[in-house]
Amino acid sequence: MPKSDIHVLSAIKLSPFYEPLVREQFIFHDRLHETDPKAFAAIAPQIRGIAGSGESKVSGELIAQCPNLEIISVFGVGYDGVDVAAARAKGVMVTHTPNVLNDDVADLAIGLMLSAARQLPQADRYVREGRWAEIGPMPLARKVSGAKLGIVGMGRIGQAIAQRALAFNMSVAYTTRSPKSVPFTHVPNVVDLARQSDYLIVITPGGAATRHLINAEVLAALGPEGILVNVARGSVVDEAALIDALERKVIAGAGLDVFQNEPHVPEALRAVPHVVLAPHIGSATSQTRKAMGDLAFANLQAHFEGRPVITPVPECQ
Ligand code: NAP
């Protein structure tokens, strides 16, 4: 297809699976609002699309600066960085990339649960550093198969996690604001869910509605044998309360893919030994990132060709 004369701005450094597609099809302005605000002010009235990611911020202010903006296409399922209310108020469509990443995020959640329970990174270091030969066997770990799993959020990814947990003979319960038609026990209150769970996996959206949903009270309810896994957003867990709970052994351990102030992870969290840390890699496989790039681009393309977008966010449906 010939290159169009439509101007698209990126809100963040885009994935190599997304950016080349946008560059090839549209007139692309790579984070111009950040790198050269003066040049951006001159071009802003021509911007008709914004390309972002799950981590990018598209504020009401940026939306207001682009009077002819029509669409914000997010490469990622979470869009808590986008001011959707401001977009909707101006008739701007917001799209995201649901479903294509369910498997990867669910795989990572289970991987972090197994890693935190069976101390896999610590075991690797134990062998590499010669402690096995020097000291003898490692301290015993905690069993996963057959244990009680609580899932906070039972949407597309939560259900993929639950499906995997069944293969480990785990009993699954979950909390959400409204019960879902799934064959698992709905527990209305997150504290009650934590109290009855050995492992608690968090997979809700981020944003104001879930901010610090996992707080000191939830961690106390999870208890000294409990393990927390967060693959949702850093904002969902009160990080200071989590560090305190880990340091005082209020919970046994954690597996974390997301943090409050990425890519900065507090030194105190890096210092606690019974935590497994990952640099926000939930969907980070080549296969899934390609599928996400294709879908994010297809949404832009559909819109500018006058077809309905493929995956609008719920607020824009
Ligand atoms: P989804 O299908 O929209 O599911 C979200 C679930 O969270 C729903 O079951 C929803 O149920 C529940 N929920 C929302 N607010 C809640 C609250 N206040 N308390 C309890 N439950 C609540 O979304 P998804 O596709 O599964 O994705 C979930 C999130 O995962 C994304 O928004 C993103 O933040 C995160 N994510 C992370 C990575 C990563 O790399 N680590 C990758 C992809 C996605 P109710 O509405 O009934 O409450």
Q: How far apart (Å, rounded) are the C-alpha atoms in residues 54 and 283?
A: 11
Atom of ligand 1 nearest to the CA of 283: 40
Q: Which of 203, 237, 311 to mutate to test the pocket of ligand 1 (most atoms within 8 A of CB)?
A: 203
**Mean predicted confidence (pLDDT) in 112-140:** 98
One-letter identity of residue 306:
G
Between CA 20 and CA 93, with CA 91 as vertex, the angle to 5 degrees is 35
pTM for the whole structure = 0.97
**2, pLDDT greater than 90:** no
Residues 56-96 pLDDT 10s: 999 999 999 999 999 999 999 999 999 999 999 999 999 99
Minimal-distance CA residue to ligand 1 atom 21:
176
pLDDT in the model for residue 280: 97
Known catalytic membership, residue 233: yes
The CATH number given to 102-277 is: 3.40.50.720
**1, pLDDT greater than 70:** no
Percent of the chain surpassing pLDDT 70: 99
Minimal-distance CA residue to ligand 1 atom 23:
155
pLDDT in the model for residue 125: 97
Residues of the chain with CATH 3.40.50.720: 7-100+287-316, 102-277
In CATH terms, is domain 7-100+287-316 a member of 3.30.1180.10? no
Q: What is the mean pLDDT of the chain?
A: 97
Residues 230-282 pLDDT 10s: 999 999 999 999 999 999 999 999 999 999 999 999 999 999 999 999 999 99
Catalytic-role residue among 33, 233, 289, 303:
233
Ligand 1 cavity residues, CB under 6 Å: 77-78, 98, 101, 105, 152-158, 175-178, 203-206, 209-210, 213, 231-233, 257-258, 280, 282-283
